[in-house]
Chains A and B, each alone.
Chain A
Amino acid sequence: MSKFAKKKDGDIPAVSTASLPDIVFMLLFFFMTVTVMKDSDIMVENTLPNATEIKKLEKKDRVIYLYVGKPTTEYQKQYGTESKIQLNDKFANVNEVGDYILAERAKKPQELQNVLTTALKVDKEANMGIISDIKQELRKVNALKVNYTTYEGDAFNNLK
């Protein structure tokens, strides 16, 4: 008798795993299509300035982002070329910033609500006027910790 006995007729055949990759791919495609990369939808020009004395924003769940800059070319017809604030995915006025911060703060877990940082992603061509207005709004809602997000690089490149 041979070592590997032949299966007898009537045995249950092994389950075919040939379709397993298909299932996995289906899952992969599902997640690929569902995942939205939030940052990919910036509607303002956003060339950040350079700085050398930077600190990393370590904990992403404690950060609220604000974008400021000129609307990109496709939005310029509608919104003009003056610097605008973008909250989530729409343009906003300065007086909406406070409400936005409060709404975002309320979404965060209780223990993080006091340690939130507001990251200002501002185009380097923007004017300080709008930044000052935003800072006033942030002070009103007591969101005092700000981070002027920059790229790492020689700060004197900003002047060009």
Chain B
Amino acid sequence: MARRAGAPEVNAGSMADIAFLLLIFFLVTTTIATDAGLDRMLPPMEPPENPPIIRQKNIFTVNINKNGQLLVEEELTDLKDLREKAIAFLDNGGAPSGSEEYCNYCKGKRDAESSDNPSKAIISLKNDRETRYGTYITVQNELVAAYNELRNREAQRLYGMDYTAMEALYLNPETESSVKDELKDKVTNIQGLFPQKLSEAETSTN
């Protein structure tokens, strides 16, 4: 019997394969870039009304010159030793036992000539206009690493968990809110023990 009038059906069975091929091509070529980097806060333009008086021994100066050399506390220092020096400074806890500023969790040398308390300790970073950005980021990275290392130590002692892991979990939007509330207190507590005080002076031109 002959077929009745009407267009014969196109065999569309392979269409699915073609569509999948395209889909896979786009899946492979598209890169969903999640950016990551070092978070920093810039100081506000207006200076605070009553700038607190900061003692020289509570300031840790880091100078980068245009050749990428470091001057840490008036000493020429290799970049690899910066983290260690920053930790020693932050963790020093030089205030005498019994005084108001005594730091009971510090494990440093308690050198009276260095910082009194982590909450007083300030790192001052200064760079030249001709410093390479790569060098600057390395220095920033080492200083943040120093803070993170100390914060991790305290977080491990108090909560048995790394600070960086807690913070990542806290900032992750997929974390449940009940977990977040619990973490928030812990994170702020650790941040209070070692507050990140990293001041950046305006660049020098010489």
Contact = CB atoms under 8 A, between A and B. Distances in A.
Contacts of B165: none
A28 B22 contact: yes
B42 A18 contact: no
Contacts of B137: 49-51, 124, 148, 150, 155, 158
Interface in B126-154: 127-138, 140-142, 144-145, 148
A78 to B, nearest CB: 23
Contacts of B203: 128-129, 132
Interface residues of B, number: 52
Contacts of B34: 56-57
B35 A155 contact: no
A137 to B, nearest CB: 10
B38 A55 contact: yes
B171 A144 contact: no
B176 to A, nearest CB: 16
Interface string B23-61: 000000000011111111111110000000000000000
Contact of B138 (A139, A143, A147, A158): A158
- The main secondary structure of chain B at its interface with chain A is mixed
Interface residues of A, number: 56
A57 B133 contact: no
A136 B34 CA distance: 27
A59 to B, nearest CB: 7
Given A51-B37, A149-B35, A149-B37, A144 B44 contact: yes
A17 B12 contact: yes
B138 A49 contact: yes
Contacts of B37: 51, 54-55, 57, 119-120, 147-150
**Which 8 pairs of residues, A with B, have the shortest CB-CB distance?**
A129-B129, A124-B134, A158-B134, A149-B37, A18-B10, A21-B15, A155-B141, A128-B131
Interface of A: 9, 13, 16-18, 20-21, 24-25, 28, 39, 49-59, 63, 117, 119-129, 131-132, 135-136, 138-140, 142-150, 152, 155-156, 158-159
Given A148-B137, A155-B138, A159-B138, 11 more contacts: A18-B12, A39-B33, A53-B38, A56-B168, A57-B36, A124-B134, A127-B129, A128-B127, A129-B203, A132-B202, A147-B35
